[in-house]
Structure 1
Amino acid sequence: MRLFFSLFTLTTFLLFFSGCGSDNNSDSGSSTSSAISDSSSSSVQSSTSSSMLSSASSSSTSAASALIEQLTVFAEREHGYHNFETMVIDSDTAHDTFVTSLLPQSSWGDKETFMSAMNTLQIDYTKENLLLYRHTEGSGSIVVTPQLPYMDGANVTIVIDRDVPGVGTADMAYYLYAYRVSKMVPQVVFSVDEQRIPVTNSAPIACTEEYAPVCGEKEVVCVTAPCDPIPITYSNLCHMQRESFVTYLYNGECDANKNERSVTDPAAIVRSTEQFGHAIMQAYLDPSTNLFLSPFSIISALSMTYGGTYGKSAEEFEALFHYDKNLSVHNSFAALLPQMVPVHNTFTVANSLWPLKEYPFYPAFMSTISKKYGSSVFPTDYPNDPTANETINAWVEEKTKDKIKDLIPGPLSRDTAMVLVNAVYFKGLWSVEFDANDTKNESFSRSDGSRVTTETMHLLADFNYTENSLYQAIDLAYAKQEFSMIIFLPKVGHTLSDIVDHLTTRSIKSVIGEMAPAYVDLALPKFKIKWGTEELKPVLVDLGLESPFSANADFRLMANVPVGAIFISKVLHQTFVELNESGTEAAAATAVSTDLASEGPIPLVFHAERPFIFYIRDNRTGMLLFSGVLADPTSE
């Protein structure tokens, strides 16, 4: 049986299949995340595959709620609980055996009520376990309170709070907390004061004992300071991947002389994203059609996928994104994302995994994606849930403030193994505000020479600016210069493709380095673009990413499956952008007034009255978030 998966981002959705063959008619969609102020401000909004920049605690708690549920059918405190220890019941047989073992026990306050509750519990032991956590206190005066579960990688952690009074009783107190837990959770950890009490929930993935050694890096926790991961030799790939927080390095035993430890380098992700962004823009570029992409969203979603690849499939991802063999892609993303959290604008990223319930995905893969990308996990029963697409669509709509709707228009295939979704939302307020009173209906020349009338904003102000024989370029900063829109306007005789070709040989950062403050007469059309949902698979294949979509797909770091058992079915991307006059209140205070402008030097003229290319960039990290082409401001 072959499975597939799908990837959605702000523009991208990734669908993995497992079944008898690829299902080319199955639908995939992309989801996005974010929350923001009203749409009257200048904004760019886009739903794409991406990572979560929002609160880790809230996202991990939300993800845990899909995997574990506290049951309140039992009395919290009962003397009879001293008759057994913490346990996991994983089958109907084990359930009946436990209930039978209660019959001869004594020293219960109300054993009949407990047994009745056990007998009426509705637990589907094919998909979930019953965890009975026993807790003992030396005084009944101590108040014990379990907190909401939260994800810690692939595992679930539950903090048990203890409120110890100054004076209390000396009676023993026996507590029980019961949970319904998905079999996908390897371990539930109870954290009591400084003690962590792990409870194994599901049996480890069965591995062969074949000795085919691999070297992996295992993350460790140090008490006094952060620690580097340590190289460990595992007997084979399966034994390595069934642990959490392990990264594959190479085949063979670990060799200290190889010095192939992974390198965390957020700047490498920034460089890769820009290179990939130019390549995919050139592939889709049509001077007569509006275009809006999120290279950041696409590369985020595909990098999560890359974490499950092996062999040739991994090599194709590395070639496409120019990833060095020693680069720790996931650690680099984990280091990069916190640097991208803005203070004065809005930029949010959300990732989610929707794995097939009970499918034996490796803990190493699940824990890495969950922790490094802040991804929420929502186990889904694709064979028996024809509305799974609607559930994912609802998540997307909520994260994008209803900007992206019906991302997945129809039911997902019963052979779906996993859906990966990345969502990005950006809203930037101009550092220098446009005055709506200066907006006029003016002419815009399309690539075929025809002209349309469109609302055009005007502003006389100082901007960073440069030009050469190929283009004029201007930097329009958002509030406090956290982000910028860089616009490239081709000069007469040159094309949009010429500019992309030029930027492929250099970086946008180098163009910005050539800019200097200049007094500019700026004319810029208002516009709104909704692009997609677009299937990226054909372009990705043309760019060299072939095997992950084929019968040769190798996802042996995702699950204990042979080559070709899991493959990518779809990569879907959808985006939205809107630009208008609004800016921040503080920025308005720094804007050049009309009187001052009239007394200044003769301004340079930057009138975007013909097709142009624009990029939205995080100035603090250099990350290319979005890229687009405005070919016709009257067309969405």
Structure 2
Amino acid sequence: MVRFPVRYFVGTFTGLLTLASLTACLSINRDSAIAQPTSPETSSPSPSSTMTPSTINPQLVAADNQFGFKLFSQLMQQDGEQNLMMSPTSVAIALSMLYNGANGETQQQIASTLELQGLSLEEVNQSNADLETLLEHADPQVKLAIANSLWGNQEVAFKPDFIQRIQTFYVAEVETLDFKDPAVVNRINDWVNRNTEGKIPIILNEVRPDDILFLINAVYFKGEWQQAFDEANTSDRPFTLLDGSSKPHPLMSQTGSYLYQENDQFQAVSLPYGNGRLSMYVVLPQTDVPLPQFYEEFLSASNWDTVMTGFTRRNGTVELPRFRYEYATRLNDALQALGMPLVFDPNAADLTGLTDQDSYVNEVHHKTFIEVNEEGTEAAAVTSVGIRATSAQVPREPFMMTVDRPFFCAIRDNESGVILFMGSVVNPE
């Protein structure tokens, strides 16, 4: 079986916005059953240490965003009446590592789900390596880190090519452990806790002797608003919930010049962090547009790309809720609905690029935490894969945008266009 737990994102609006990824350092037990990588002379090319936006493969960015909106739509059908936050980047990177161990129709289904058609395996890996390097150096005023790890059962022999690709392109920390040892689960969770700055302390509840591998990605983000909200302007205001009732909730307020747009469907504003390379986009449906209708018509990568071209610089006032919440879900059903059922089937999964032992994906979990306040945003996400043996028109006057009802938000790298986090806030807490 394969168990694929996914860590959720942590977001905090606090004048400081940081996205931190876990930094990978290699640790291999030479006596373990994981084969050692081949020599540098025979290995695949390592990722470049200096990335610029022009070096990023636009096909991968488009694929990640398309996959992200598809997955978000599935989760909205499942959890649309609660606050939701996910990291398309984290899930895509974790599944890309799994993709390296799949063959045949199983690999084809993963590629289709991740929108990787037209990209070779090497292109996928190199593009992910380039993107991670770019994101981690996006803005010196924003902390953005991505880390990967592989935790293998010492009794299982893994394919050397698979291990080498995970090390070379994903800079993954690799360890083999005795999965019969009850302390293993704490060791893995400690790694996750460190690499999410304590925002996600637990991703695994147990490690079983028949688990053979866990692939984990972690993303951490922390950054300050380019223009902080003045706490003196924060006051309790009515926030309308999905059932039409309202509750008092702190709304922050500021006036300035923003990238903004408005039509008969929504209002949208860009709130930049640091030097402006990364921004939070807040999209508020108009009062006469039901939230389910808005998400059905709005949530697609093509619509998002259109929205991104519609912003103009405008003066106005933004009133935004201060909020903090956690979200957790199991992604098995959503991923199967998106077109990759074979990898979850113990009788049909083909993960022979990973090990000769029969295996399949048992579970995919995702956890997030987000906090938004006057200073900025802090966010973290972890995705873990565990493998178990088989058994309109813009007005010219200053605008007013009062976010006092359910809304959509996303954190985006404005150079590459990749979406790091996306969420739906229906009941700020």
TM-score class, shorter: 0.7 to 0.9
**Alignment partner, residue 381 of structure 1:** 178
Larger relative CO (CA 8 A, sep 6+): 1 or 2?
2
Q: Which moved more, 1:502-511 or 1:456-465?
A: 502-511
Match of 2:192 among 380, 386, 396: 396
Structure 2: how far apart are the matches of 1:281 and 1:467? 23
* Aligned-partner SS, 2:107: helix
* Aligned-partner SS, 1:464: strand
Q: Is the 8 A contact 1:8 1:301 kept in 2?
A: no
Cα distance, 1:619–1:6 mapped onto 2, change above 3 Å:
same
Cα distance, 1:575–1:42 mapped onto 2, change above 3 Å:
farther
Tell me by how many angstroms 1:405 deviates: 2.1
Structure 2: how far apart are the matches of 1:413 and 1:620? 43
Match of 2:60 among 264, 269, 278: 269
Q: Is the 8 A contact 1:496 1:613 kept in 2?
A: no
Tell me by how many angstroms 1:602 deviates: 5.2
Tell me by how many angstroms 1:336 deviates: 1.5
Q: Is the 8 A contact 1:527 1:580 kept in 2?
A: yes
1:282 aligns with 2:73: yes
**Alignment partner, residue 158 of structure 2:** 361
Matches within 5 A, 1:81-160: 128=31
Cα distance, 1:535–1:287 mapped onto 2, change above 3 Å:
closer
**Alignment partner, residue 95 of structure 2:** 302
Match of 1:352 among 136, 139, 149: 149
Structure 2: how far apart are the matches of 1:611 and 1:368? 42
Match of 2:214 among 419, 434, 437: 419
1:579 aligns with 2:429: no
- Code of the residue aligned with 1:407 in structure 2: it is I
- Code of the residue aligned with 1:364 in structure 2: it is D
* Aligned-partner SS, 1:274: helix
Q: What per-residue deviation string (whole Å, max 9, x for no partner) do you get for residues 46-91 of structure 1?
A: 89xxx75x4xxxx43xx23x425xxxxxxxxxxxxxxxxxxxxxxx
**Alignment partner, residue 259 of structure 2:** 464
Tell me by how many angstroms 1:583 deviates: 5.4
Tell me by how many angstroms 1:358 deviates: 4.1
Where in structure 2 are there 5+ consecutive unaligned residues?
Answer: 49-54, 378-395
Per the normalisation by structure 1, the TM-score is: 0.59
Q: What per-residue deviation string (whole Å, max 9, x for no partner) do you get for residues 556-591 of structure 1?
A: 111234xxx11000101101111111159xxxxxxx
Structure 1: how far apart are the matches of 2:336 and 2:402? 38
Match of 1:543 among 335, 338, 341: 338
* Aligned-partner SS, 1:378: strand
Cα distance, 1:507–1:266 mapped onto 2, change above 3 Å:
farther
Structure 2: how far apart are the matches of 1:355 and 1:400? 21
**Alignment partner, residue 85 of structure 1:** none
Match of 1:570 among 351, 363, 371: 363
Q: Is the 8 A contact 1:288 1:448 kept in 2?
A: no
Structure 2: how far apart are the matches of 1:400 and 1:187? 28
Q: Is the 8 A contact 2:6 2:203 kept in 1?
A: no
* Aligned-partner SS, 1:480: coil
Q: Is the 8 A contact 2:17 2:224 kept in 1?
A: no
- Code of the residue aligned with 1:366 in structure 2: it is I
Structure 2: how far apart are the matches of 1:496 and 1:268? 30
Structure 2: how far apart are the matches of 1:317 and 1:527? 35
1:41 aligns with 2:14: yes
Cα distance, 1:184–1:319 mapped onto 2, change above 3 Å:
closer
Q: What per-residue deviation string (whole Å, max 9, x for no partner) do you get for residues 442-471 of structure 1?
A: 110011111011111000111000111111
Cα distance, 1:554–1:287 mapped onto 2, change above 3 Å:
closer
Matches within 5 A, 1:169-188: 182-186=32-36
Per the normalisation by structure 2, the TM-score is: 0.86
Question: Percent of aligned positions with the same letter in both sequences?
Answer: 28
Cα distance, 1:525–1:452 mapped onto 2, change above 3 Å:
same
**Alignment partner, residue 112 of structure 2:** 319
Structure 2: how far apart are the matches of 1:325 and 1:621? 19
1:518 aligns with 2:314: yes
Tell me by how many angstroms 1:369 deviates: 0.8
Tell me by how many angstroms 1:499 deviates: 3.5
Structure 2: how far apart are the matches of 1:630 and 1:429? 21
Structure 1: how far apart are the matches of 2:90 and 2:13? 24
**Alignment partner, residue 86 of structure 1:** none
1:6 aligns with 2:3: yes
- Code of the residue aligned with 2:314 in structure 1: it is A
Q: Is the 8 A contact 1:527 1:578 kept in 2?
A: yes
* Aligned-partner SS, 1:9: coil
- Code of the residue aligned with 1:67 in structure 2: it is N
Q: Which moved more, 1:488-497 or 1:522-531?
A: 488-497
Q: What per-residue deviation string (whole Å, max 9, x for no partner) do you get for residues 508-558 of structure 1?
A: 3431221101111111010012111x2110111111110000020001111
**Alignment partner, residue 203 of structure 2:** 407
Structure 2: how far apart are the matches of 1:490 and 1:186? 53
Match of 1:454 among 228, 249, 267: 249
* Aligned-partner SS, 2:242: coil
Q: What per-residue deviation string (whole Å, max 9, x for no partner) do you get for residues 315-345 of structure 1?
A: 1111111112443211111121111123220
Cα distance, 1:40–1:490 mapped onto 2, change above 3 Å:
closer
Structure 1: how far apart are the matches of 2:152 and 2:203? 18
User: Which structure has the larger Rg?
Assistant: 1
- Code of the residue aligned with 2:57 in structure 1: it is P
**Alignment partner, residue 383 of structure 2:** none
1:529 aligns with 2:325: yes
Structure 1: how far apart are the matches of 2:255 and 2:424? 24
- Code of the residue aligned with 2:368 in structure 1: it is T
Structure 2: how far apart are the matches of 1:300 and 1:467? 34
Q: Is the 8 A contact 2:321 2:403 kept in 1?
A: yes
Q: What per-residue deviation string (whole Å, max 9, x for no partner) do you get for residues 288-336 of structure 1?
A: 3111111111111011101111111011111111112443211111121
Q: What per-residue deviation string (whole Å, max 9, x for no partner) do you get for residues 125-182 of structure 1?
A: xxx2xxxxxxxxxxxxxxxxxxxxxxxxxxxxxxxxxxxxxxxxxxxxxxxxxxxxx4
Structure 1: how far apart are the matches of 2:15 and 2:174? 33
Tell me by how many angstroms 1:44 deviates: 6.2
1:219 aligns with 2:44: yes
Match of 2:240 among 445, 453, 472: 445
Structure 2: how far apart are the matches of 1:220 and 1:511? 37
- Code of the residue aligned with 1:576 in structure 2: it is F
Count of residues in correspondence between the two structures: 397
Structure 1: how far apart are the matches of 2:288 and 2:91? 33
Tell me by how many angstroms 1:502 deviates: 2.6
Matches within 5 A, 1:70-81: none
Q: Is the 8 A contact 1:288 1:446 kept in 2?
A: no
Cα distance, 1:187–1:547 mapped onto 2, change above 3 Å:
closer
Tell me by how many angstroms 1:603 deviates: 2.3
* Aligned-partner SS, 1:506: helix
Q: What per-residue deviation string (whole Å, max 9, x for no partner) do you get for residues 482-503 of structure 1?
A: 2111111101221333343334
Structure 2: how far apart are the matches of 1:499 and 1:183? 51
Cα distance, 1:377–1:484 mapped onto 2, change above 3 Å:
same
**Alignment partner, residue 281 of structure 2:** 486
Q: Is the 8 A contact 1:290 1:629 kept in 2?
A: yes
* Aligned-partner SS, 2:128: helix
